[in-house]
Amino acid sequence: MSLTVVNQNDGDVAMTGRTEVDLLSLEDFHQHLASRLSQVESVLRKLNTEMQCRPPALGTFLDATDQARRYSEVHQSYVDQAERVRQAVLAAQQATSTILTNYRTAEARNAANATDVTAALNGVDRAFEPKEDGRV
């Protein structure tokens, strides 16, 4: 069972103008997102408990304090990135759930259009927008 939507002019001439979505594959993907969410939440839990603000004990000389500060910055960067992954997984879960709910029947699939599917996926795009420093 698949859902075919015709893309409205997206400005990319190389595209065929059609998007194929296999609903059974989408259901499988949606089910796998739960385990991915569990994994990223486990990473966040570890980063925010066991590893929280505990730089290595390197001493108090200048290089040691610089490395401790750098450790804290890298740690916070990892926390931020893991949180962005968590937000992206949540957005993907919501989007796939919406798509699956909206297009369960043949009539709904036949009436589908690219705008509906795109609207459901907007949260995923927002989760992956680059930060100020250009990272995704």
Calculate Rg over the CA atoms of the chain: 21
60-79 burial by CB neighbour count: b if 16+ within 10 A, else e?
eeeeeeeebeebeeebeeeb
Listed residue (32, 24, 30) closest to 3, CA to CA: 24
Note whether 103 and 3 are within 8 A (CB): yes
When pLDDT is averaged across residues 34-60 and rounded to a whole number, the result is 88
Cβ-count burial of 120 within 10 angstroms (0-12 exposed, 13-18 middle, 19+ buried)? Answer: buried
Instruction: Answer with the residue of higher pLDDT: 14 or 122.
Output: 122
Task: State the amino acid at position 89 in one-letter form.
Answer: V
Quote the CA–CA distance of 63 and 53 in Å, as a whole number: 18
Instruction: Give residue 78's pLDDT.
Output: 93
Instruction: Give residue 111's pLDDT.
Output: 64
When pLDDT is averaged across residues 54-72 and rounded to a whole number, the result is 87
Instruction: Answer with the residue of higher pLDDT: 82 or 121.
Output: 82
When pLDDT is averaged across residues 6-17 and rounded to a whole number, the result is 50
pLDDT at 7 > cutoff 50: no
pLDDT at 2 > cutoff 70: no
| In the chain, domain spans | 2-127
Instruction: Give residue 87's pLDDT.
Output: 95
Instruction: Answer with the residue of higher pLDDT: 103 or 99.
Output: 99
Most confident of 17-31, 56-70, 117-131: 56-70
Query: pLDDT-derived band of residue 98, with 50, 70 and 90 as boundaries?
Result: confident
Can you give the pTM of this predicted structure?
Answer: 0.63
